[in-house]
Amino acid sequence: MIELMVICVIWVAVAMETKKLKQNLSELEAKEKRDLENQTEDLRMNMTKLQNQNEQLRNRDKLNKILAAIISYTNFPADLFCPDGVCQTCPKDWIHFQESCYFFYNLGSPWKTWDQSRQFCQRMKSDLVVISSLEEQTFIKNTIQYYYDTHHGYWIGLQKVNNNWTWVDGSPDTLRYWNNPGSSENFAYIIQNATLTQSWIQFRNGFLVRFICEIKALIF
């Protein structure tokens, strides 16, 4: 009888200790879970903070690049490049190529004389296009449209000054992609329906055709 009582006492003690151990284990697991959740939340918050800091650094770097690009202009046309407070590489409806933006006047007649075309470009803080390489000539030739007839093209920023063909930026023409060399006329336009290096036409200022404006791109 005494042995049975001892066994019962031992069993009860073991059961209580087991229950206590289970309770302690459950509390430990719950604490570890809370700690892990807290650590995960801390990591998430730190990650979000780092991402925000990185985004701020990227924005600051972008703003510094935009500022440096703007400073490179003598008179930066903010109304063209940043009409809504957000600056773009080229103004709306202009085409970006290399370091310039190009506006191709493709409206219907009446078109414009060379002088009128240049005035139009200058009102948009630009000038008639200056073609300085075969790559630029190729880009322009591939972009202009054939219209009306084979004699109609686009004015470019090339004119005869003191009997020398000179671009509107003051540089001399070295490419000489003439279709009608030797003409006595003083202004030039480019036609689409001609070979790449024989597509410039020497003609009088009063001829009415389309034109191409060029401005330096805002590269940042």
User: How do the domains of the chain map onto residue ranges?
Assistant: 1-71, 91-216
pLDDT of residue 122: 97
Q: 139 or 84, which is more confident?
A: 139
Q: 52 or 71, which is more confident?
A: 71
9 pLDDT more than 60: no
Task: Please give the Cα distance from 50 to 59 (Å, whole number).
Answer: 14
Q: Which of 181, 207, 179 is nearest to 194 (CA)?
A: 179
Among 42-51, 149-158, 188-197, the range scoring the smallest mean pLDDT is 42-51
Q: Find out whether the peptide bond into 83 is cis, omega within 30 degrees of 0.
A: no
Q: How many CB atoms lie within 10 A of CB 127?
A: 16
Burial 36-45 (b: 16+ CB within 10 A, else e): eeeeeeeeee
Fold of 91-216: Mannose-Binding Protein A; Chain A (3.10.100)
Task: Please give the Cα distance from 103 to 214 (Å, whole number).
Answer: 6
The pair of structure tokens assigned to 56 is 């701020």
> Which residues, in sequence order, are CB contacts of 19 under 8 Å at separation 6+?
none
pLDDT of residue 88: 94
Q: Are 170 and 155 contacting, i.e. CB atoms less than 8 angstroms apart?
A: no
Could you give the percent of the chain with pLDDT greater than 90? Answer: 63
The pair of structure tokens assigned to 52 is 């925000």
Residue 65, phi then psi, degrees to nearest 5: -65, -40
> Which residues, in sequence order, are CB contacts of 81 under 8 Å at separation 6+?
87, 88, 90, 91, 218
Q: Which of 118, 195, 193 is nearest to 152 (CA)?
A: 193
Q: What is the DSSP letter of 172?
A: B
> Can you tell me the mean pLDDT for 88-115?
96
Q: Which of 91, 92, 105 is nearest to 212 (CA)?
A: 105
61 pLDDT more than 70: no
Could you give the percent of the chain with pLDDT greater than 70? Answer: 80
Among 36-45, 80-89, 208-217, the range scoring the smallest mean pLDDT is 36-45
pLDDT of residue 47: 64
Report if pTM > 0.75.
no
> Can you tell me the mean pLDDT for 114-120?
98
Among 40-49, 90-99, 196-205, the range scoring the smallest mean pLDDT is 40-49
Residue with tokens 């006329």: 185
Average pLDDT score, the chain:
87
Among 44-48, 162-166, 170-174, the range scoring the smallest mean pLDDT is 44-48
Q: Which amino acid is at 111?
A: W
The pair of structure tokens assigned to 149 is 């007839």
